[in-house]
Amino acid sequence: MESILSNLLLLAWLLPLASFCVILFFGPRLGTAGRGAAFVATGAIVSGFALSLTALILWVGTHGISGAHHADSADTHAADQTLSPDSQVAIDPSAAAVHLVAADHGDAHGGDHGHGRVGPKAAYFGDWYTLVDFDRLKITIGYYIDALTVLMFTMVTLIASCIHFYAMGYMHDELHDVTDHEVTLSNGEHLKRPGRYHRFFQYLSLFCFSMLGIVVAGNIAMTFVFWELVGICSYFLIGFYIERKSASTAANKAFIVNRVGDFGMIIGLMALWGSLGTFSFGGEKNDAGDIVKPGMFAQARAETDHYALKTPEAMVESARQMGAEDPEHTGHVLLIVAGLGIFCGCVGKSAQFPLHVWLPDAMEGPTPVSALVHSATMVAAGVFLVGRFYPMFTPEVLLTIAIIGCITLFMAATIAITATDIKRVLAYSTLSQLGYMMFALGVGGWVAGMLHLITHAFFKSLLFMCSGSVIHAVHTNEMTQMGGLRRKMPITAYTMLVGCLAIIGAGVPTLVGLSGYYSKDAILAQALHFGKNNAAWDVMFYVAAAGAAITAFYMFRLWFMTFIGQPRDPSRYDHAHESPRVMWMPLVVLAFFAIFVATPADIENFTDPTASPMVQLLEQARPDGTGIDFSGQLAGVMMPAEHGSHDEEIHLAAGMIAFGTAMFGLLLACCLYWWRILDPEEVRSMFAPIYRFLRNKWWFDELYDAIFIRPTLFCGRCIAQCDRGAIDWLIDHLAIWMRSFTAGFDRWIDRLFVDGLINWVAQRTYALGIWLRKPQTGRLRQYVVFIVVGTMAMYLLATFGLTN
């Protein structure tokens, strides 16, 4: 089974890469004007979907929908309990830092909800390829397959397939030469350029490959590798219209802001690597398939501890090596650092506060990209990683995650109220929904968060594609120039309505609803549950509930402004038309999933949200040991077990609040934009300061420009100046001083001393010559006298001097 599954997913993963390579080398030659590129890419991703679906079916066939087989759950559950005494030992209160009050709670629910999973969850892991190998330290490309992996694979490939089809229609203009009306050249004309149809599909294929790489990743280093690769794909796709300055700037911004998150992620990786010595989730195996080094999860939550989170021994050891006074404590801090670091990467990728600024700008890319990359998949990768890495997060880190998610969901929702660019409204909505997911994970709602990830992927890609369909029809993003389009493009309008209803979590409380109803209720219920256990933090529940009201308001504001009322720009309205079939078919498919993806399949338990197959599959994928209450060592926070939120009392309260707030927001939108009871202009002038604040996106861009970008550039200039002004100045002046020193040396020593000596000797010699010249008179008699005197002197000297 393991080899079948891993090979299926491997193939599904590599097909887009093959497609990328084919288009890279043969792109323009595939069909007329590269039309064939779309077929290659679409073929690859659709095959990938088929393979993923096969894998999903195989998975369900082997492991059932819920970990404990559902049909005869009561019996099996009892049998499980007798078979594995571990489940009883799990109630042992002595397990450090863990309150296991949930154990019998689980029993109460276990029978009918599949909470009764006993023992470790089903997961396959292994390596395909070794990237680097230094004996004990290894970085590999491998897989970690559990229900979540299979589910995400299917979801990503399904949405990507829809978007590939959609893009065939949307990018149609790129098949021939394009005049870009947003780019004006220096001669005043608009830019004309050849189409880049094949290149778009080339990038999409690379993106699919990278995204699936994150999903299948068997270790966090591999996650990081593909994390960067999706980043670069996002860079290419945002900057697809490379001639537009705004697009290339947005692409740079996206990549650099993501790198800020990656900076944190690298710190997390270092903290893990430096102490644990492995990046593997499941464990490193040798050729025989035996685990030679336990994975990160096993080190943090050992089976012998009943999967309770403990600081890994290796981290304590590492702290001891550092000479920490209290290794236990320092080791725990190290674990927190690792968790926060990894989360930092997720903050960047999922555009959470304070790194959210790149996502709205990323809407410069073509709309299918916004639908695929910047709403359904890549930005959700951050949430996915938090979910994947969940066993390693301490309650302190989870609390941070919850706070960040809570801030993001509220802030983004408020900005969305005032945005008028249809894609930006959706972008802020994406931010807000990602905030919900993070928030859910942070308050202990693993299934709630992951469920929202999946439902959101469907309805948000649907919403984006509907907006793309509208933009395709009216050639503008501004909602202020739309209106009444419902009559021109009904399919788009009503599929989008489905998306809007799904995102606000519409449904009949306690009965049935669209997909968003299930996920949002689960989040709010868990938030309420968390608030009840941590009174200091219960404000977050109210923020999330308020966020739900705002969501309903801005989504229906968007829908009403676009599709209802009179056309605001008649010329655009007249030209509008329903999109071609290749574009609206995917809308219908996605609308179907947006409605039903989380619906309970069991007729008998139709009103029970946890009876949905999706929820049960996720429950099956829940990381070991996270289904129980546990509290932090440093911060006084208690993470309540998720099934606590399924209590009638909590769930009903949360469901009613969610319903009430959504209805409130919806009605407010109706008053303002449909029934026109209130005039939006008046409301706006009434709250002018707030409007300006929101309209300027809380001034984040300006703030970051002032405190990060300018100082960084200034610092760069200073350093460059330091090079020229200080170091080179010193070098140059050293040279100059050296030259003047040698010049002085030359002058004083050479000229005065050496030359002076030479000259002095010469002058003396000359003077001597002058002096000796005096006897040279030329008179013979004088010479004869000299000779005689000389001869006499020599004679006397020879006679007396030598004889003595």
The bridge status of strand 638-639 relative to strand 630-631 is antiparallel
200 touches other proteins by CB under 8 A: no
Tokens of 316: 């304590």
How far apart (Å, rounded) are the C-alpha atoms in residues 407 and 436? 10
323 binds other proteins (CB under 8 A): yes
Residue 88 vs 184, nearer CB to other proteins: 184
Given 122, 256, 582, 585, the residue binding other proteins (CB under 8 A): 256
Answer yes or no whether residue 252 interacts with other proteins by CB under 8 A. Answer: yes
Alpha helices per DSSP H over 71-219: 73-83, 86-89, 102-113, 147-170, 197-216
Residue 255 interacting with other proteins (CB under 8 A): yes
Interface with other proteins (CB under 8 A), residue from 735, 767, 787, 798: 735
Indicate whether 636 belongs to the interface with other proteins (CB under 8 A). no
Residue choice 79, 185, 736, 789 for contact with other proteins (CB under 8 A)? 185
Quote the radius of gyration of the chain (alpha carbons, Å): 38
User: Does residue 127 interact with other proteins by CB under 8 A?
Assistant: no
Question: Is residue 715 part of the contact set for other proteins (CB under 8 A)?
Answer: yes
Report the alpha-carbon distance of residue 617 to residue 615 in Å, rounded: 5
Least CB distance to other proteins at residue 133 (A): 7
C-beta closer to other proteins: residue 327 or 644: 327
Residue closer to other proteins, measured from CB, 200 or 673: 200
Exactly one of 58, 266, 652, 670 binds other proteins (CB under 8 A); that residue is 266
Q: In 696-777, which ranges are continuous DSSP H helix?
A: 700-704, 710-722, 728-745, 755-773
Number of Cβ within 10 Å of residue 694's Cβ equals 17
**Region binding other proteins by CB under 8 A among candidate stretches 462-470, 506-514, 624-632, 718-726:** 718-726
x/- mask, other proteins, residues 504-533, rule CB under 8 A, reads ------------------------------
**Rounded to 5 degrees, what angle do the CA atoms 67, 311, 80 make?**
25
Residue 3 Cβ vs other proteins, minimum distance, rounded to whole Å: 24
Contacts of 278 (CB under 8 A, 6+ apart): 138, 219, 284, 293, 294, 295, 296, 299
Site for other proteins in 223-242 (CB under 8 A): 224-226, 228-229, 232, 235, 239, 242
In whole angstroms, what is the distance from residue 218 CA to residue 277 CA?
A: 15
Contacting residue, 267, 585, 635, 663, with other proteins by CB under 8 A: 267
The smaller minimum CB distance to other proteins, of residues 131 and 768, is found at 131
User: Quick one: which of 136, 581, 710, 733 contacts other proteins (CB under 8 A)?
Assistant: 136
* By the rule CB under 8 A, 132 interacts with other proteins: yes
Please say which residue, 272 or 437, places its beta carbon nearer to other proteins: 272
Residue of the chain from 89, 322, 752, 757 that contacts other proteins (CB under 8 A): 322
Q: Is the peptide bond before 354 cis (omega within 30 degrees of 0)?
A: yes
The contact pattern for other proteins, residues 658-697, with x = CB under 8 A and - = no contact, is ----------------------------------------
Q: Return the number of the residue (243 or 305) whose C-beta is nearest other proteins.
A: 243
Nearest one of 356, 346, 456, 329 to 401, comparing CA atoms = 346
Number of H helices, E strands in the chain: 33, 10
The 10 Å Cβ neighbour count of residue 33 is 16
Q: Determine the straight-line distance between the first and last CA of the chain, rounded to whole angstroms.
A: 130
259 binds other proteins (CB under 8 A): yes
**Quick one: 40 or 217, whose CB is closer to other proteins?**
217
Of residues 577 and 739, the one with the C-beta less far from other proteins: 739
Q: By C-beta, is 243 or 647 nearer to other proteins?
A: 243
What are the beta bridge partners of residue 98?
630
The secondary structure of residue 579, as a DSSP letter, is: P
Distance CA 539, CA 350 (A): 23
How far is CA 87 from each of CA 68, 159, 257, 383, rounded to the nearest angstrom?
Answer: 14, 39, 45, 30
The DSSP result for 49-88, as a single string, is HHHHHHHHHHHHHHH-SSSS-STTHHHHHHHHHHH-THHH
Tell me if 731 contacts other proteins by CB under 8 A: yes
> Considering the rule CB under 8 A, would residue 17 count as an interface residue with other proteins?
no
Determine if 743 is a binding residue for other proteins (CB under 8 A).
no
The total number of residues shown for the chain amounts to: 804
Close Cβ partners of 698 (under 8 Å, ≥ 6 residues apart): 411, 414, 415
| Residue 305 sits in the site that holds other proteins (CB under 8 A) | no
Burial level of 604, CB count in 10 A (0-12/13-18/19+)? exposed
**CA-based torsion, 539, 541, 544, 546: positive or negative:** negative
Minimum distance, C-beta of residue 318 to other proteins, in the bound complex (Å):
8
Stretch of 297-305, 390-398, 470-478, 710-718 lying at the interface with other proteins (CB under 8 A): 710-718
- One residue of 4, 74, 270, 601 binding other proteins per CB under 8 A: 270
Tokens 């870009």: give the residue: 180
716 binds other proteins per the rule CB under 8 A: yes
Which positions ≥6 away from 662 have C-beta within 8 Å?
504, 505, 506, 548, 549, 551, 552
Residue (183 or 555) nearer to other proteins, CB:
183
Instruction: Show the CA angle centred on residue 118, arms to residues 117 and 122, nearest 5°.
Output: 75
The one among 26, 128, 273, 596 contacting other proteins by CB under 8 A: 273
Which two tokens mark 18?
């093959």
Residue 426 contacts other proteins per CB under 8 A: no
Residues 749-778 that bind other proteins (CB under 8 A): none
Residue (58 or 229) nearer to other proteins, CB: 229
Minimum distance from CB of 296 to other proteins (Å)? 15
**Residue 719 engages other proteins in binding (rule: CB under 8 A):** yes
Interacting residue ranges for other proteins, rule: CB under 8 A = 130-137, 183, 185-186, 191, 193, 221, 224-226, 228-229, 232, 235, 239, 242-245, 248-249, 251-252, 255-256, 259-260, 262-263, 266-267, 269-271, 273-274, 277, 318, 321-325, 712-713, 715-721, 723, 727-728, 731, 735
